[in-house]
Structure 1
Amino acid sequence: MFLKQFSRVLDSPLVLVLDSDPDSLFLMNEMVTLCGSVALTAQDGATALRWVDEYQPALIVTELVLPKVDGFAVVERIRSTNNSVPIVALTSLPAYLFYERAWRTGCNAYIEKPCPIEQLQTVIHRYLDRTLSPF
């Protein structure tokens, strides 16, 4: 609950970032912060699903390969509750094999790792309706 209130006080959207790799999670946390949002992080799908219900993030950025509950299942469960939160797949899985499945599952965007920071920034801002920062 604290993060939700903190996000409101700062008038910043709350972004849930899911990745099992600590380095990727750290980088995404920094990127979300640079975009003017508050990051909430999870390293597995089960935790992420709890936090979606508890914190109601404005955007979700997820790796599709996750322990316990994979990213595809996370997206399916979120969509099964008619939750319309934008979901961005930021994944090491090649698009030519998994883009269509991610789209059918309910992802709004698909970005392959590694990706340029500018690409990720553009997608974050697109789904949060925020003005691009000058960095």
Structure 2
Amino acid sequence: MAHILVVEDDPSLGFLLQDSLESAGFLVTLCPDGEDGLQALAEQRFDLCVLDVMLPKLDGFTLAQQLRDQSLQTPFMFLTAKALKADRLQGFELGCDDYLTKPFGLEELVYRVKAILRRTQPQPETTAAENAKMADMHAFGTSWLEFNNLQLHVAGQTYTLTHREAELMRLFAQNAHQLLKREEILQRLWQDDGYFVGRSLDVFISRLRKYLQADSTVKITTVHGRGYKLEVAV
């Protein structure tokens, strides 16, 4: 949940801003003047500041300058009745992420806030498990297959497979230590168990064995008259 600081001296507008942003799912701290806003920034971390420009004690432009002078990287946007070009330019020169002039719709404000947060908030890092899922990764022995990239990694070497080779290697990896009948492989990968397709399977298995020969923990064995098995040392 993003935490937003709203600095607005008009109590009615401040209430409306807080209510709208909280209804949109944000945590909101409301301050009535610039000095209170500056104090809140010293005590808490915020994901975004929404600043009125014409504030008592410390105006919004000065508050924004304080942010930058203190090297705070909190993004901020201005809400103001000051619509002159010079005022807008001053706001952007201070580094604001948006400048919204009054009157404005509360729905528009929420959309602008969401847009700023999308640009400025770091995206969560994917976990190793998520990365493996995205790559359709399969490990066996000291080797592994990135199916989506058609890459087989063996003993420090990377081999780019054909799509059919990758499908076959994935099938073995998903069924390590289990007998895969020859006709079952042919039907699952080719939907055909004819003679010529069978010869293609022999070629693919020969290639995979060649790729894997540098990994002593992995071996594709032939179970005569039945099929094949990927054996992985434990």
Q: State if a TM-score over 0.5 links the two structures.
A: yes
Q: Structure 2 unaligned runs (5+)?
A: 120-234
Higher helix content, 1 or 2: 1
Q: Give the structure 2 partner of residue 41 of structure 1.
A: 30
State the Cα deviation string for residues 17-46 of structure 1 (Å, max 9, x = none): 011100110011011102210110101101
Q: Give the structure 1 partner of residue 141 of structure 2.
A: none
Q: Give the structure 2 partner of residue 32 of structure 1.
A: 21
Q: Give the structure 2 partner of residue 55 of structure 1.
A: 44
Q: Is the 8 A contact 1:60 1:85 kept in 2?
A: yes
2:2 partner amino acid: P
RMSD of aligned alpha carbons = 1.4
Q: Is the 8 A contact 1:35 1:124 kept in 2?
A: no
Number of aligned residue pairs: give it.
Answer: 119
TM-score w.r.t. structure 1 length?
0.83
Q: CA offset at residue 72 of structure 1?
A: 0.5
State the Cα deviation string for residues 47-85 of structure 1 (Å, max 9, x = none): 100101111111100100000011100000001122111
- Pick one of 115, 125, 129 that aligns with 2:118: 129
TM-score w.r.t. structure 2 length?
0.49
Q: CA offset at residue 95 of structure 1?
A: 4.3
Q: Is the 8 A contact 1:17 1:42 kept in 2?
A: yes
CA 1:91–1:46: 2 relative to 1, 3 Å:
same
Q: Is the 8 A contact 2:97 2:116 kept in 1?
A: no
Q: Structure 1 unaligned runs (5+)?
A: 1-11, 131-135
Alignment of 1:81 with 2:74, yes or no, is no
Q: Give the structure 1 partner of residue 102 of structure 2.
A: 113
**Structure with higher RCO (Cα < 8 A, 6+ apart):** 1
Higher strand content, 1 or 2: 2
Higher radius of gyration, 1 or 2: 2
Q: Secondary structure at the match of 2:46?
A: coil
